[in-house]
Amino acid sequence: MRILSFCKATADRAKGSPSAGGRAKKRAAVSADAKLIACAASTFLAITSAALADPTALYPRMAPIGDYLMDRTQEIALARSAAPGSISNHATVLVLTRIAYETAANGTNGFVCWVSRSFSGGGFDSPEHWNPKIRAAECQNPQAARSVMPLAKLGTAMILAGRTTPEIIGAINMALRSGKVPPLEYGAMSYMMSKSSYLTDQGKHDMAHVMFYVAVKDPADWGANAADAPIIGGSYWFFTPGHEAENTSLPVISVFLSGVATWSDGTPASMHPM
């Protein structure tokens, strides 16, 4: 997300064949697990085979709104931990309320830091769409803050107002057509380097990485998702097979992820699940 169906396929390819040598097979397995965890980043959630069979099995409905909220001071701190201090200390910070995201601190560098929840942004059919544990700290650069953040804010406000997925998709398309939300800007990217995020129930729940938002339909254009590639990618909207008709009504936005070796505070970050 972005990444429901291709995550598992990518991991399976990376594991290699049963005839592979022991050491090579072990390395491939670690790579596969790392790719699967990376799929869970920000709004990109990892999945299990059971969840694929029944996307609503784990979290069938929205939890009480209070389960998704945080202490305001703690949320600001978590949001700023998404990027190095040279960026986040001067960024605008958003916090989630019972009705929408609101500005908690004004910045000066154009970056926007926030803590996305399971239902923020795309991922309408993610098996963890209603997971109240998700706390994904992210700092978007000015281009993403202007053209990606409005999509997440609009969708979140509508979800909190009880609107349905078709209504949200319709509102997003209308906002884009009217110019209320601008098209994706060239150079849009974000930092997700917080060691305190909770991205998914799978694996070790977190991974330090950066993300790039691109108007590219085929991840192969970036060489993404190959077993030996350092980048994975997929649709921002997270649609699984069967939702192609809905997907074509939305703008083409792919998200490409690459793991990084340190957390935002400079300490070493594991490049694979523990």
Residue 122 structure tokens: 């795309």
Q: Which of 77, 112, 73 is nearest to 92 (CA)?
A: 112
Encoded amino acid at 124, one letter:
F
pLDDT in tens, 42-89: 333 333 333 344 445 689 999 999 999 999 999 999 999 999 999 999
Q: Are 257 and 231 in contact (CB under 8 A)?
A: yes
Per the document, the length of the chain is 274
Going from the C-alpha of 40 to that of each of 169, 201, 232, 233, 250, the distances in angstroms are 22, 9, 11, 11, 22
Quote the pTM value.
0.80
Rg (CA), the chain: 18
The confidence score (pLDDT) of residue 244 equals: 53
Going from the C-alpha of 149 to that of each of 28, 70, 114, 127, 143, the distances in angstroms are 35, 20, 10, 22, 9
Distance CA 62, CA 64 (A): 7
The stretches in the chain having pLDDT less than 50 are 1-20, 23-55, 241, 273-274
